Amino acid sequence: MPASPLLLRWRSRLGFTLIELLVVIAIIAILIGLLLPAVQKVREAANRIKCSNNLKQLALACHNYHDVYQLFPPGAQYFNNDFSNPWNCHYDKGSWLVFTLPFMEQDPLYKKFPMRNYFNSADPSDPNNDSVDLALANGALPTTLPYLRCPAAGDLLGKPVSNYSVSLGPCCLYPAGGASGGPFEKYCDPVDNGLGDWGYPKGGPANAPPIGTGIDPVKVRSCFSRTGCKINLAMVLDGTSNTILLGEFLPIQHGWAMAYMNTGGWAMGSGGNAHCSTIIPINYDSSADINDMNIAWGFKSNHPNGAMFAFADGSIRFIAKTIDHKTYQLLGCRNDGLVPGPF
């Protein structure tokens, strides 16, 4: 029996026409375009939560270290008597991250870093004084630690680097060539710069040691230095909620971090784990010249519009890159005696 005309028409409509298919594809593309920003916002929110948790744990580790030793982790290179030359580093006792290892459930790793003569003058030619070299020799380094990476960074995967740095506050910096200068150097020197008091200790010296090389707490403006300065909570005169302790940075834009990436990495007190100055604006791009300290040694992240920071009271806050620059300097300095504005 031949098929009816109605059945034949129904069978002919089993497929899609080209126009119908294009319409469906266009609708799917529009839906994806509408959903993509929402997905990106969710991903960024998750990245911030993870990054915030990492910073929180590291800040707590610094406080736990302080509870035991009555000072912040003093990780640094040791200078052995001569502090007049900021490049006169003799041996490396490890970064602040090395000293927090026992408080981050990494005690077995910490025990592979011999800490002989940390605060004592000793012969720099004695290889037993260099804790990082000894850790490299016994296989403790290089190693990666999961809590040192922010998922928003997305670079240098599997490398022994850190996305978290201590703050040097409004500290002067020198470029790779050794001469002072740079676009933000004026913010570290209150003498004849026309800026007034921008985060400098009242009654203290006008100029802090460059690149965080001081051992005198009166001259060091933040809670850390590169040379083992002994600083404790009692010296945070501006209040722990007004003083930056740690923050995010991108090692891929930091020449010293990259230089030590395949050796000591985050454990290097000499700069493999960066020290950042607040004179450089947040998220300032230094990818064009990672070896210029004047632009590379700044806090930065891949989060849109700013970076995460841990304050000396243990709180974690996101600071926008558009923060007033004077306010940023006051937050970087622990003893300026001034009240920072809202941020």
What tokens does 4 get?
Answer: 């009816």
Beta strand spans in 75-124 (E): 77-78, 91-92
DSSP code at position 308:
E
How does DSSP assign 24-37, residue by residue? HHHHHHHHHHHHHH
Burial class (CB in 10 A: 0-12, 13-18, 19+), 101: buried
pLDDT for the residue 253: 92
Sign of the torsion formed by the C-alpha atoms of 94, 95, 99 and 101 = negative
Sign of the torsion formed by the C-alpha atoms of 306, 329, 54 and 150 = positive
Distance of alpha carbon 168 from alpha carbon 244, whole angstroms: 9
Split at pLDDT 50, 70, 90, the class of 282 is: very high
Nearby residues of 275 by Cβ (< 8 Å), 6 or more positions away? 165, 166, 167, 168, 211, 212, 224, 226, 297
Any idea where the domains of the chain sit in the sequence?
A: 53-332
pLDDT averaged over every residue in the chain: 80
Mean pLDDT, residues 255-263 taken together = 84
Distance of alpha carbon 58 from alpha carbon 314, whole angstroms: 9
pLDDT of 84 above 80: no
Beta strand spans in 200-257 (E): 244-248
Mean pLDDT, residues 305-309 taken together = 95
Mean pLDDT, residues 129-151 taken together = 86
pLDDT of 317 above 80: yes
pLDDT for the residue 177: 44
pLDDT for the residue 252: 92
Cis previous bond, 142, omega within 30: yes
Distance of alpha carbon 4 from alpha carbon 67, whole angstroms: 91
Distance of alpha carbon 99 from alpha carbon 314, whole angstroms: 18
Triad 241, 242, 247: Cα angle to 5°: 90
Residue pair 228/118 in contact (Cβ under 8 Å)? The answer is yes
Split at pLDDT 50, 70, 90, the class of 121 is: very low
Report how far apart the first and last C-alpha atoms of the chain are (Å, whole number). Answer: 84
DSSP code at position 187:
G
Split at pLDDT 50, 70, 90, the class of 83 is: very low
Distance of alpha carbon 188 from alpha carbon 218, whole angstroms: 16
- 177-214 pLDDT tens trace: 445 567 888 787 655 455 666 656 655 555 667 777 77
- 209-229 pLDDT tens trace: 777 777 778 888 899 988 778
